[in-house]
C-alpha cells in the first residue's frame, strides 16, 4: 500500500483487500495530531476549481472525513468500498471525483452506452442523486448529459432517454435490466463504454430484491471499469456485492460503522425519549409541537398510514399544518412533498416507513422492495424499511420524532440519521409506550448497553414537564375523540385522490412550467370540520413558567443557529454545544433558587393562572 497516499484521516481506516495488517495497527500508525494536520480542503484534494465553486455555492466548504479519504482514491481510478455512517456525505464522495473525471476526460463521441452508471435501490434516491448531479453540472456550466430511468417509464421513454447516449445514467438495477432485456441497452455497448459503476446504498440493493438484476448486469461490466460501492452499514450483502463487481478494492471504513455502541449513531444527534402510555402519545406530541419544545423542521415517524392521517387530522384542530408522506401516494407527489419539505415550505412532515402497511399490494421493487425482501430474508432487521427513510436527504431537519417506535433497531438508526447530517446537529425524541419497551431495550443493546440499565445514550427528554402535559390534556383528549376511524379513512382516501389528481393531470403541465409546482400544496387541511379558533393558540395561563422558559430557550437556540450551516461560522459549533439547552435545562426547574422577588411574582402569577384555568376548562 502506498503509505503516503493512504494515510487514514479522522480515524478512517483504509485497507486494500488482501492486506494483512490488523485494523488497529493501521489506525494506530497516525496520531490525532497528524490527522488534524492532514485535514485537507477540496483544493488540496486536487478538486477542479469549477467543482469547488459549485460546492461552495451549496455552502459546502470543507470535505467530510469520508470525502477526504475517498476522493483521492477515486481520482486515481481505484475501486473503492466506502462504509460511513448515514449523513456523512457519501454522495459527494463519489459524485465530485466522478464529475471531475468526466470533465477532464470527456466521454468519446463513439460511445453507444453511458460512461457512468449510478445504481440506487429506490426511485426517491434516483431522483435525489439525479438532482444533485444536475445541480453540480449546472453550477459548473459543463455540458454533460445525465438521465434517470425508472421502471414506470415506457419502452419509448426509455429509448428516448438513452438516445445520445447520456454520459451518466442514474437508475435502479431493475430498470437497467429491463432496458437490457428489451434491447434498448446493448450489452456490447456497455462493455465498450462503461468506465465507472457506482452502487449507492449498496447494503440495500440486494435486500430490495435486485440480486438477479445485478448479476445479469454485472456480467457485462468490463474488467477495466472502475467500481465504487457506497454503504452506511457493513453486511453480508455488501460483501456479496463486493465480490460480484469489485477488483481488489480499497476499503474505507469510518469507525462509526462498527456494529456496537456510539459507532452506529451519528454523534451529532442528541437522542431523547419520553415514556408514556400509547394513549397519551397524542397529548405528549401536542405539547412538544404546540409549546415549541422541539426545533423545527420536524420529521415525525409512524408505523401505519392510518396513524399518519390520525396525527395530521389531530394537529389540524390545533392549527398545526403538516404533510403526510407514504408509499401509497403517487411517485410524483412523493417526490414533490420531499422537495417542498426540503425547501422549507412546511415544518412538519409525518412519514410512514413501514412497507407492511402500504396496502397497495403491488409488486413494485422500487416502491415496495422492503416487502419483497422480507420474504427472502425473513430475519433481516431492515425488513420494515421503506424508500423514504434510507438515504433520503431531508434538508435541515432539526428533530426526528418517533411517534411510533420503529420495529427494528436498524430502523431506529436510519430514522434518526435523517437529522444531524454532515456537519449539522439534530435531536431525536422517541415516544415509548410500555408495549415498545422491548424494541427500546434492543436499541439500547446495539448501543452497547445492558437490559434494564438507564441509557447513557438516550436520555429522558428534559424540557417537557408533567404540568405542561396536564395543561393540554383536556383539549387533546377532546380533539382526539373527534378524530374517528371513519374520519381517518376518509381523509386518507381524500389525500390519495388529491395527490393522484395532482400527479396525473398536472404532470405534463409541470414539465413545461416547473415553477408552478410551488402552487401545489401538500399540507392542505383534510379535516371536514374547521379547527376551533380557541385551539389554535395555547393561552398563557395554561403554561407553567418552567415550560414557558423551556420554550423560550428552544426558540433562542434556533435563532442563534440562524439559517446558515453552523460549519460556516468558525467557532460556532463549540459555543452552541456548550450552551445547548437540551443539555443544561431540566423541566424540574433551575437548581439555583431564583431571586426572591422573581419567585414570588412567578408563584402569584401561577396561582392566578390556575384560577383562570379552572374557570375556562
Ligand X SMILES: Nc1ncnc2c1ncn2[C@@H]1O[C@H](COP(=O)(O)OP(=O)(O)OP(=O)(O)O)[C@@H](O)[C@H]1O
- Is residue 86 within the footprint of ligand X (CB under 6 A)? yes
CA 202-205-210 angle, 5° bins: 150
- Is residue 89 within the footprint of ligand X (CB under 6 A)? yes
Q: Which of residues 157-196 bind ligand X (CB under 6 A)?
A: none
Q: Which stretch binds ligand X (CB under 6 A): 87-95, 136-144, 252-260, 468-476?
A: 87-95
Binding mask 56-75 for ligand X (x = CB under 6 A): ----x-xxx--x--------
First to last CA, the chain: 73
Q: Which stretch binds ligand X (CB under 6 A): 303-311, 314-322, 347-355, 391-399?
A: 391-399
Q: Would you say 204 and 388 are in contact if contact means Cβ atoms under 8 Å apart?
A: no
Instruction: Tell me how many residues contact ligand X (CB under 6 A).
Output: 22
Looking at the Cβ atoms of 64 and 551, the one nearer to ligand X is 64
Looking at the Cβ atoms of 316 and 393, the one nearer to ligand X is 393
Question: At closest approach, how far in Å is the CB of 410 from ligand X?
Answer: 12
Distance, CA of 236 to chain centre: 23
The DSSP string of 28-65 is: HTS-HHHHHHT---TTTTT--HHHHHHHHHTT--S--H
Given 14, 73, 74, 88, the residue binding ligand X (CB under 6 A) = 88
Looking at the Cβ atoms of 90 and 444, the one nearer to ligand X is 90
CA 457-462-467 angle, 5° bins: 150
Looking at the Cβ atoms of 240 and 395, the one nearer to ligand X is 395
Question: At closest approach, how far in Å is the CB of 232 from ligand X?
Answer: 4
Given 68, 421, 444, 475, the residue binding ligand X (CB under 6 A) = 421
CA 566-254-35 angle, 5° bins: 70
- Is residue 47 within the footprint of ligand X (CB under 6 A)? no
Q: Would you say 430 and 510 are in contact if contact means Cβ atoms under 8 Å apart?
A: no
Question: At closest approach, how far in Å is the CB of 481 from ligand X?
Answer: 39
Question: CB 454: neighbour CB atoms within 10 A?
Answer: 9
- Is residue 410 within the footprint of ligand X (CB under 6 A)? no
Looking at the Cβ atoms of 255 and 330, the one nearer to ligand X is 255
Given 6, 65, 81, 91, the residue binding ligand X (CB under 6 A) = 91
Q: Under 8 Å CB-to-CB from 480, ≥6 apart: which residues?
A: 282, 314
Q: Which stretch binds ligand X (CB under 6 A): 285-293, 390-398, 545-553, 569-577?
A: 390-398
Helix/strand/coil for 431: strand
Q: Under 8 Å CB-to-CB from 308, ≥6 apart: which residues?
A: 302, 324, 325, 326, 350, 351, 352
- Is residue 122 within the footprint of ligand X (CB under 6 A)? no
Looking at the Cβ atoms of 113 and 265, the one nearer to ligand X is 265
Question: At closest approach, how far in Å is the CB of 190 from ligand X?
Answer: 26
Question: At closest approach, how far in Å is the CB of 347 from ligand X?
Answer: 18
Q: Which stretch binds ligand X (CB under 6 A): 116-124, 171-179, 322-330, 389-397?
A: 389-397
Q: Which stretch binds ligand X (CB under 6 A): 89-97, 377-385, 467-475, 525-533?
A: 89-97
Helix/strand/coil for 80: strand
Looking at the Cβ atoms of 206 and 285, the one nearer to ligand X is 206
Only one residue has cell 392549527, namely 319
Alpha helices, H only, 261-379? 281-290, 305-316, 331-342, 365-376
Torsion angle (degrees, nearest 10) of CA 409, 415, 419, 421: 80
Smallest Cα–Cα separation from 52: which of 99, 112, 116? 99
Question: At closest approach, how far in Å is the CB of 392 from ligand X?
Answer: 7
Helix/strand/coil for 229: strand
Question: At closest approach, how far in Å is the CB of 564 from ligand X?
Answer: 12
Given 121, 411, 417, 420, the residue binding ligand X (CB under 6 A) = 417
Long-range contact pairs involving 221-226 (C-beta distance under 8 Å, separation at least 24): 221/190, 221/191, 221/194, 221/197, 221/245, 222/190, 222/191, 222/192, 222/194, 223/247, 224/195, 225/194, 225/195, 225/196, 225/197, 226/74, 226/77, 226/78, 226/79, 226/195, 226/196, 226/197
Given 114, 391, 406, 566, the residue binding ligand X (CB under 6 A) = 391
Q: Which of residues 207-236 bind ligand X (CB under 6 A)?
A: 232
Question: At closest approach, how far in Å is the CB of 398 from ligand X?
Answer: 14
Looking at the Cβ atoms of 359 and 422, the one nearer to ligand X is 422
Q: Which stretch binds ligand X (CB under 6 A): 86-94, 251-259, 331-339, 479-487?
A: 86-94
What's the rounded Cα separation, in Å, for the pair 426 and 230? 24
Looking at the Cβ atoms of 62 and 321, the one nearer to ligand X is 62
- Is residue 585 within the footprint of ligand X (CB under 6 A)? no
Given 92, 208, 250, 510, the residue binding ligand X (CB under 6 A) = 92
Given 273, 348, 403, 423, the residue binding ligand X (CB under 6 A) = 423
Only one residue has cell 494483512, namely 20
What's the rounded Cα separation, in Å, for the pair 556 and 56? 28
Taking every pair of C-alpha atoms in the chain, what is the biggest distance, in angstroms? 85
Q: Under 8 Å CB-to-CB from 217, ≥6 apart: which residues?
A: 173, 176, 177, 180
Given 68, 78, 83, 90, the residue binding ligand X (CB under 6 A) = 90
Question: At closest approach, how far in Å is the CB of 334 from ligand X?
Answer: 17
Q: Which stretch binds ligand X (CB under 6 A): 221-229, 320-328, 330-338, 388-396?
A: 388-396
Q: Which of residues 530-569 bind ligand X (CB under 6 A)?
A: 567
What's the rounded Cα separation, in Å, for the pair 522 and 53? 34
Q: Would you say 394 and 346 are in contact if contact means Cβ atoms under 8 Å apart?
A: no
Give the footprint of ligand X on this chain (CB under 6 A): 60, 62-64, 67, 84, 86-92, 232, 391, 393, 395, 417, 421-423, 567
Amino acid at each position: 500500500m502506498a503509505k503516503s497516499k493512504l494515510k487514514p484521516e479522522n480515524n478512517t481506516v483504509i485497507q486494500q483487500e488482501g492486506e494483512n495488517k490488523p485494523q488497529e495497527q493501521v489506525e494506530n500508525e497516525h496520531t490525532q495530531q497528524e490527522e488534524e494536520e492532514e485535514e485537507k480542503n477540496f483544493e488540496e484534494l486536487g478538486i477542479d476549481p469549477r467543482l469547488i465553486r459549485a460546492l461552495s455555492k451549496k455552502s459546502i466548504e470543507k470535505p467530510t472525513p469520508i470525502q477526504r479519504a475517498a476522493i483521492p482514491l477515486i481520482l486515481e481510478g481505484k475501486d473503492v468500498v466506502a462504509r460511513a455512517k448515514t449523513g456523512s456525505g457519501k454522495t459527494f464522495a463519489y459524485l465530485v471525483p466522478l464529475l471531475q473525471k468526466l470533465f477532464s476526460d470527456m466521454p468519446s463521441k463513439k460511445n453507444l452506452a453511458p460512461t457512468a452508471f449510478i445504481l440506487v435501490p429506490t426511485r426517491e434516491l434516483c431522483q435525489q442523486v439525479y438532482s444533485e448531479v444536475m445541480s453540480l453540472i449546472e453550477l459548473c456550466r459543463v455540458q454533460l448529459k445525465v438521465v434517470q430511468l425508472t421502471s414506470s417509464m415506457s419502452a419509448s421513454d426509455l429509448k428516448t432517454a438513452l438516445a445520445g447516449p447520456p454520459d451518466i445514467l442514474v437508475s435502479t438495477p431493475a430498470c437497467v435490466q429491463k432496458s437490457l432485456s428489451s434491447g434498448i441497452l446493448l450489452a456490447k455497448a456497455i462493455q465498450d463504454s462503461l468506465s465507472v459503476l457506482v452502487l449507492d446504498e449498496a447494503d440495500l440493493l440486494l435486500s430490495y430484491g435486485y440480486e438477479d438484476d445485478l448479476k445479469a448486469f454485472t456480467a457485462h461490466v468490463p474488467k477495466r471499469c472502475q467500481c465504487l460501492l457506497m454503504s452506511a452499514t457493513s453486511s453480508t450483502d455488501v460483501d456479496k456485492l463486493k465480490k460480484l463487481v469489485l477488483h481488489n478494492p480499497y476499503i474505507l471504513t469510518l469507525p462509526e460503522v462498527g456494529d456496537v455502541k456510539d459507532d452506529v449513531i451519528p454523534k451529532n444527534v442528541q437522542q431523547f425519549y419520553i415514556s408514556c402510555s400509547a394513549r397519551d402519545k397524542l397529548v405528549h406530541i401536542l405539547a412538544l409541537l404546540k409549546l415549541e419544545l422541539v426545533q423545527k423542521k420536524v420529521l415525525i415517524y409512524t408505523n401505519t398510514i392510518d396513524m399518519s392521517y390520525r396525527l395530521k387530522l389531530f394537529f389540524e384542530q390545533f392549527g398545526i399544518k403538516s404533510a403526510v408522506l407514504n408509499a401509497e401516494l403517487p411517485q410524483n407527489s412523493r417526490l414533490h412533498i420531499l422537495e417542498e419539505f426540503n425547501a422549507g415550505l412546511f415544518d412538519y412532515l409525518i412519514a410512514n416507513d413501514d412497507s407492511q402497511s402500504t396496502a397497495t399490494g403491488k409488486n413494485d421493487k422500487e416502491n415496495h422492495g422492503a416487502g419483497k425482501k422480507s420474504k427472502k430474508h425473513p430475519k433481516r432487521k431492515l425488513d420494515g424499511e421503506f424508500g423514504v427513510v434510507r438515504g433520503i436527504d431531508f434538508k435541515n431537519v432539526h428533530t426526528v420524532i418517533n411517534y411510533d417506535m420503529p420495529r427494528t433497531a436498524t430502523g431506529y438508526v436510519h430514522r434518526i440519521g435523517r437529522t444531524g447530517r454532515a456537519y449539522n446537529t439534530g435531536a431525536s425524541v422517541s415516544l415509548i409506550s410500555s408495549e415498545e419497551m422491548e424494541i427500546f431495550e434492543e436499541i439500547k443493546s446495539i448501543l452497547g448497553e445492558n437490559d434494564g440499565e438507564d441509557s447513557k445514550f438516550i436520555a429522558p427528554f428534559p424540557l417537557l414537564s408533567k404540568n405542561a402535559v396536564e395543561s393540554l390534556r383536556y383539549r387533546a383528549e377532546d380533539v382526539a375523540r373527534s378524530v374517528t376511524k371513519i374520519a381517518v379513512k376518509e381523509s386518507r382516501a381524500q389525500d390519495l385522490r388529491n395527490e393522484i389528481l395532482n400527479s396525473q393531470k398536472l404532470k405534463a403541465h409541470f414539465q413545461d412550467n416547473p415553477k408552478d409546482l410551488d402552487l401545489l400544496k401538500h399540507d392542505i387541511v383534510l379535516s371536514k370540520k374547521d379547527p376551533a379558533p380557541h385551539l389554535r393558540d395555547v393561552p398563557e395561563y395554561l403554561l407553567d413558567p418552567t415550560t414557558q422558559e423551556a420554550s423560550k430557550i428552544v426558540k433562542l437556540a434556533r435563532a442563534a443557529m440562524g439559517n446558515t450551516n453552523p460549519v460556516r461560522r468558525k467557532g460556532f459549533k463549540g459555543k452552541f454545544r456548550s450552551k445547548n439547552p437540551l443539555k443544561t435545562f431540566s423541566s424540574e426547574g433551575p437548581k439555583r433558587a431564583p431571586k426572591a422577588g422573581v419567585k414570588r411574582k412567578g408563584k402569584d402569577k401561577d396561582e392566578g393562572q390556575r384560577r383562570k384555568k379552572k374557570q375556562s376548562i
